[in-house]
Amino acid sequence: MDGQELIRRYNGGERGFDGVDLRRADLRAADLAGIDLHEAGLYRAHLSQATLAAANLQGAYLHQADLAGASLRGADLHEAELGGAELRGADLERADLSRASLKRAAVTDEQLSRATSVRGATMPDGTKHE
């Protein structure tokens, strides 16, 4: 499935897309609030300025994804792979990043402090947060 198909189906009322493969999909500025992308493959996806508030991204593969300026407020990113992801300017307020991998991700300590949990996460410098 490509990004346009996902947006078309989301706008048609569908919300469950768990496990879908969206490598390199262009979803810039898309409003996908509440979407279920549990364990979806979003490797190098373009999600800058997208709205993913309250989205289920648990276990999603977001390695090297562009999430700059995205709204991830209240999103479930538990065990998500965010290694090398661009998160500058992303809203992580109340996001669950527990046991997520953020190794080499572009994200600030201030952003991470707004998350609900980073317990057990691998931080950008490779250390484990306890």
pLDDT of residue 14: 96
Say if CB 80 and CB 59 are below 8 A apart. yes
pLDDT of residue 86: 98
pLDDT of residue 30: 97
**CATH dotted code for 1-130:** 2.160.20.80
pTM recorded for the entire structure: 0.94
CB atoms within 10 A of CB 123: 18
Q: How far apart are CA 101 and CA 88, in angstroms?
A: 16
Q: Which long-range contacts (CB under 8 A, 24 or more apart) does 46-55 make?
A: 46/3, 48/86
Say if CB 122 and CB 100 are below 8 A apart. yes
Q: How far apart are CA 63 and CA 103, in angstroms?
A: 10
Predicted confidence pLDDT, tens digits, the chain (130 residues): 999 999 999 999 999 999 999 999 999 999 999 999 999 999 999 999 999 999 999 999 999 999 999 999 999 999 999 999 999 999 999 999 999 999 999 999 999 999 999 999 999 999 999 8
pLDDT of residue 22: 96
Say if CB 27 and CB 3 are below 8 A apart. yes
The residue with tokens 């969206």 is 22
Domain boundaries, the chain: 1-130
Say if CB 105 and CB 125 are below 8 A apart. no
